[in-house]
Amino acid sequence: MFQWSKKVVKSVTFNPGVADESLLALVESYLEKQVDKTFSDLCKEALWQSLCVPESVKPGPQTASTEAVEQQIGKLQNQLADLEERFFAKESHRLESMEHQILQLTQQVAHLAIMVAERPVVIQSPTPATSVPEVVHNTTYSAPPPPPQEVDPVISRLSQFLDDF
């Protein structure tokens, strides 16, 4: 119904007198019992009743609590946005650190690959010193073959004649 663009503030003055002082005492005792209400709320309720405004036009009692809930929702949204901002900043920093480490590892692997490619290939044959002990332990000892003997050519010719004879 009433949509004011600006907040209107009115003041109430209690004069020194029996009637005003007793009304002020009643207001203070009422507000002590109703801690969730303000003097503004009490004045609004009194005005609604004294002006005989129909119930359908009055704002519900949930208006104050709705505003409080909306404020809490706003605070929670701000906290959530702050948390998201800090989380993404932290994750971004962590991701950058991991990318830097991966880059360093890639460079080290490339350097090692170059070193392996430039190194000459040396094929080593097994040394006799290592194979001889294995033979000695696994087989029985056999004498080395006799060195070939030189045959005298004269004896070789005579042996042919002896065979024919």
Contacts of 31 (CB under 8 A, 6+ apart): 37, 38, 39, 42
Q: What pLDDT score was predicted for residue 94?
A: 94
CA dihedral 80, 82, 87, 89 (to 10 degrees): 150
Burial class of residue 47 (count of CB atoms within 10 Å of its CB; 0-12, 13-18, 19+): exposed
CA–CA dist 110, 41 (Å, integer) = 76
CA–CA dist 59, 53 (Å, integer) = 11
Q: What pLDDT score was predicted for residue 95?
A: 94
Q: Does the model's pTM come out above 0.85?
A: no
Q: What pLDDT score was predicted for residue 157?
A: 75
Q: What's the distance, CA 115 to chain centroid?
A: 36
- Is residue 1 within 8 A of residue 7, CB to CB? The reply is no
Q: What pLDDT score was predicted for residue 3?
A: 59
Token representation of residue 124 = 């080593």
pLDDT by residue, tens only, the chain of 165 residues: 555 567 888 888 999 999 999 999 999 999 999 888 889 888 888 888 888 887 777 766 656 677 888 889 999 999 999 999 999 999 999 999 999 999 999 999 999 999 988 887 666 666 555 554 444 444 455 566 666 667 777 777 777 777 776
